[in-house]
Structure 1
Amino acid sequence: MRKIYLIIVFFIGIVSLQAQELNWHTNVKEAIAIGNKEKKPLLLFFTGSDWCGWCIRLQKEVLKTPEFEKWANENVVLVELDYPRRTPQTAEIKAQNNELQQAFSIQGFPTIYFANGTDKEGKVNFEGLGSTGYVAGGPTAWLEVANGILKKK
């Protein structure tokens, strides 16, 4: 009987973890629509996911932690703008990401911009709230910086 109880608890834990999984959008226009509907700013994550050591480190130390997941679900709409070297992307995603890299003057990776977006008649506009990148100290230190940016809005 005890084994059955432990198995049930284990499966419930797995299901609840999957239900909280983060949704990283790759289409900025869709993310803007969601952000406006939910009244949340966008977190634009400019990354080189398959080659940038600092990007991989930020993912591991912050963006894939339970603390970040909880915070992100409550505060932002996540957008991944990836510039991979080995992972294939559609022409549309490449064009969108390159345009946004120029628009935000991204010089290095990782860079995270917080912004509110509007999409009127196919034209996308952003109100920048602030930016950050890798912050040493794990999720607590990174979230302190992010909360400071969001409080300014």
Structure 2
Amino acid sequence: MKTVLALTLFLNLLAAPRLAPLWQTNLEQAKNEAKAGHKLILLYFSGSDWCGPCIKLKKEIYESDAFTTYADKQLVLVRADFPRAKKNQLSAEQTAHNESLAERYNPDGQFPMTVLLDANGKVLRNWSGYPASLTLQSLINDIDAAAAAH
């Protein structure tokens, strides 16, 4: 009976939906993690409650199982969000941090903007907007090419 129960529990865990990848909010912590894990950093500028392309990119690519699997092995994820609705406002400290990131990595204020960084914060590649030509596979190919060239 215990074997059947254990097997049932194991199969339920396998069938459980994957959680979306964990997006950090602090670039300095992400740099430390990237150095320790020999990973690159994907910095994503979004307007989570007002930017249609941001919402679509997050849903179609960044929350996909394939991206989650890839990111778990290759990337440290950082999101710099700029919500507008009062109920979604970030702390003053987080807002200041995100604005600092925008000054350095997204000075034109484009949304969505995705920036690939090395573990030291050097820009390797960026993607502005959510063009129709951007697919999960093309994004992965671009990240892999930038990593190989780095």
Percent identical: 27
**Deviation of the 1:77 alpha carbon:** 0.3
**Deviation of the 1:135 alpha carbon:** 4.3
Find the residue that maps to 1:61 and give its secondary structure: helix
Tell me if the contact between 1:135 and 1:141 (Cα under 8 Å) persists in the aligned partners. no
Partner of 1:146: 143
Tell me if the contact between 1:62 and 1:142 (Cα under 8 Å) persists in the aligned partners. no
Distance (Å, rounded) in 2 between the aligned partners of 1:51 and 1:24: 19
Partner of 1:39: 38
Given the alignment of the two structures, is residue 80 of structure 1 paired with residue 79 of structure 2, yes or no?
A: yes
**Deviation of the 1:6 alpha carbon:** 10
Partner of 1:12: 13
**Deviation of the 1:138 alpha carbon:** 3.4
- RMSD value over aligned CA atoms? 2.6
Letter in 2 for 1:53: G
Partner of 1:122: none
The residue correspondences of 1:1-153 to structure 2 (distance < 5 A) are 8=9, 11-15=12-16, 17-18=18-19, 21-86=20-85, 87-104=88-105, 105-118=107-120, 126-133=121-128, 134-136=130-132, 138-153=135-150
Letter in 1 for 2:33: I
Note the alpha carbon deviations across 1:69-119, whole angstroms, 9 max, x for none: 11101111000110111112011110011011011124311111111244x
Q: Normalization by structure 1: what TM-score?
A: 0.80
- Runs of 5+ unmatched residues, structure 2: none
- Runs of 5+ unmatched residues, structure 1: 119-125
Tell me if the contact between 2:39 and 2:119 (Cα under 8 Å) persists in the aligned partners. no
Q: How many residues are matched? A: 143
Distance (Å, rounded) in 1 between the aligned partners of 2:6 and 2:119: 48
State which drifts further: 40-49 or 136-145. Answer: 136-145
Q: Which runs of 4+ in 1 moved over 6 A?
A: 4-7
Tell me if the contact between 1:131 and 1:149 (Cα under 8 Å) persists in the aligned partners. no
Distance (Å, rounded) in 2 between the aligned partners of 1:135 and 1:142: 11
